[in-house]
Amino acid sequence: MLPDDAVDRITEGCRTIGKICQTQGIQQWEIVATQSYGHSIDIEAGKIALAAGGGEGGYGIRVVEDGRFGYAYLVDLGSADYALKQARDIAKVSPSVKGFVLPSEQTAKKVGGLFDKNILSIGPEDLLEQADAILSEVASLDQRAVVTGGGLGVGASATAILSSEGIESSGVTTSHGMGIQVSIDADDELTSSYEGDSSCQRLPNVPDCIAVAVDWAQKTRGPIEVNTEAHDTPVLMTSEGFSPLFSMVVPTAIRGDRLVRNESFWSGKQGELVLAGDLSLIDDGRMEGGRSASSRDGEGVPTRRQTLVENGRLVGSLWSTRDAAQQVAEGRIDHAETNGCAVRGSHQSPPGTGCADLQMVSSLKSSSQDALLERMQEGYIVHSVMGAHTANPTSGDFSVTSSTLLRVEGGEILGPVKQAGLSGNLAKALSKDVHLGNDVRIQGSYSSGNMHLPDVLLMQGLRINPA
């Protein structure tokens, strides 16, 4: 899938651009390069719709002169001179940030589990086999169930970074992922569920998420009548239902620049209780096999595992080099420095600040879903939400909709509810009486990184509004 010399070639490309930077006498420069290849399969209407493959890549150039930075990206080395000129022209009109210099070289230890050679050997035929296996599995679980959309894919990415400050690093990561929408359209009722899984390692041919998708499409059939008055209620949010809201709100709230600029609902609360006293937030940029983990962050600084909220108290925040220098220079904080949290979407953007693999854990014993239901007694299980991206990361307020929810009474599931609105403030809901399940699952994110979350029982702060 990935050419054997992919890393060598992009590293050589970085060196070529670096030499031009040196020739032009640029004070500080940083070149990043990415090169990705992959295969994918689209599924529609219960069959394989198409098979695709290909690759893409490019270079990003950041120049820093007297605390001013400029950026440009390109796809071929032939336009490096032009891109560099653009980046330097931009740097000239950018504000000078006192103390902003590119990070210097530090030794970074390798993170394991980010590469699986077995993925490199997966070809289109193998993926087609896997797609067939998934379709067969869905049909075997429920003859009415159809995979109406989604797909699966494998990829490998070579990345490299080279800077004037001695940073030179490169590597290859792999990925294998899938996401499927399972629908059951029978008896004038259509129910559906979307589930997915992804890993740096090769996934099983039929991952557990396939059965979960069928299960939720089944158990949301035949909605029951419930009290349609809006009311405050405990809600057990599955990992899948909770992570979109959590990822929209929390990673943004723990960014250092937003905290010191009063743009976070946790601004001014350093050292104070912000979560329930048993909860901690840990960002692990070095998690073995972590989907967002790496030995170095987006600007070459060694990554680390760091506790951001410890037993409910805000004790840390996320920083990248420029954000830290800027907030110090502007007098919002006496001291700040990068803690390896620079993130990049691709070579097309300069580094920003964000989390890598973010975990929420409890010091208390975690519970099975049955135990959580027993504690909840009356309320709802919410498995997916629509509109999580409309949540307000500044305030933590949200108002979303779910069509994948179950009514719980007496600690037992009574039945599905057709549709309901769910609103509240996530910061407040997480501030007390929160109980975690014992099955942590890895989810994607609306902001940066990946979320490692179990089912979460929120006993207060939420309002449900059944249709």
Helix axes 6-23, 80-93, angle to 10 degrees: 50
Residue with tokens 């980046």: 87
- Number of residues interacting with other proteins: please give it, by CB under 8 A: 87
Q: Which of 443, 444, 466 is nearest to 455 (CA)?
A: 443
Q: How many CA atoms within 13 Å lie on the side-chain side of 73? A: 16
Q: Are 217 and 418 in contact (CB under 8 A)?
A: no
Q: Who contacts 166 (Cβ-Cβ below 8 Å, separation ≥6)?
A: 104, 105
**β-pair type (231-232, 189-199):** unpaired
Q: Is 98 in the site for other proteins (CB under 8 A)?
A: no
Number of H helices, E strands in the chain: 10, 23
Selected binder of other proteins within 17, 31, 63, 71 (CB under 8 A):
71
**419-438 residues near other proteins, rule: CB under 8 A:** 419, 421-423
Q: Which amino acid is at 298?
A: G
Q: Are 446 and 244 in contact (CB under 8 A)?
A: yes
Task: Find the shortest distance in angstroms from Cβ 327 to other proteins.
Answer: 11
Q: Is 57 in the site for other proteins (CB under 8 A)?
A: yes
Q: Is 345 in the site for other proteins (CB under 8 A)?
A: no
**10-29 residues near other proteins, rule: CB under 8 A:** 10, 13
Q: Is 348 in the site for other proteins (CB under 8 A)?
A: yes
Nearer to other proteins, 123 or 166 (CB): 123
Nearer to other proteins, 53 or 444 (CB): 53
Q: Who contacts 376 (Cβ-Cβ below 8 Å, separation ≥6)?
A: 234, 236, 408, 411, 457, 459
Task: Find the shortest distance in angstroms from Cβ 179 to other proteins.
Answer: 10
Nearer to other proteins, 304 or 463 (CB): 463
**387-426 residues near other proteins, rule: CB under 8 A:** 387, 389-390, 392, 394-395, 397-401, 403, 419, 421-423
Residue with tokens 């059944």: 466
Q: Is 250 in the site for other proteins (CB under 8 A)?
A: no
Nearer to other proteins, 13 or 285 (CB): 13
In the chain, the N- to C-terminal Cα span, in Å, equals 49
What is the dihedral sign for C-alpha 132, 134, 135, 139?
A: positive
Task: Find the shortest distance in angstroms from Cβ 386 to other proteins.
Answer: 4
**192-221 residues near other proteins, rule: CB under 8 A:** 192
Nearer to other proteins, 118 or 228 (CB): 228
Q: Is 51 in the site for other proteins (CB under 8 A)?
A: yes
**361-380 residues near other proteins, rule: CB under 8 A:** none
CA angle 348, 354, 358 (to 5 degrees): 130
Three-class secondary structure of residue 243 per DSSP:
helix
**255-294 residues near other proteins, rule: CB under 8 A:** 261-265, 267
Q: Which of 407, 421, 455 is nearest to 222 (CA)?
A: 407
Nearer to other proteins, 187 or 229 (CB): 229
Q: Is 170 in the site for other proteins (CB under 8 A)?
A: no
Between the alpha carbon of residue 452 and those of residues 242, 430, 444, the distances in Å are 11, 16, 9
Task: Find the shortest distance in angstroms from Cβ 146 to other proteins.
Answer: 6
Q: Is 49 in the site for other proteins (CB under 8 A)?
A: yes
Q: Is 354 in the site for other proteins (CB under 8 A)?
A: no
Nearer to other proteins, 108 or 146 (CB): 146
**108-147 residues near other proteins, rule: CB under 8 A:** 124-125, 128, 131-132, 146
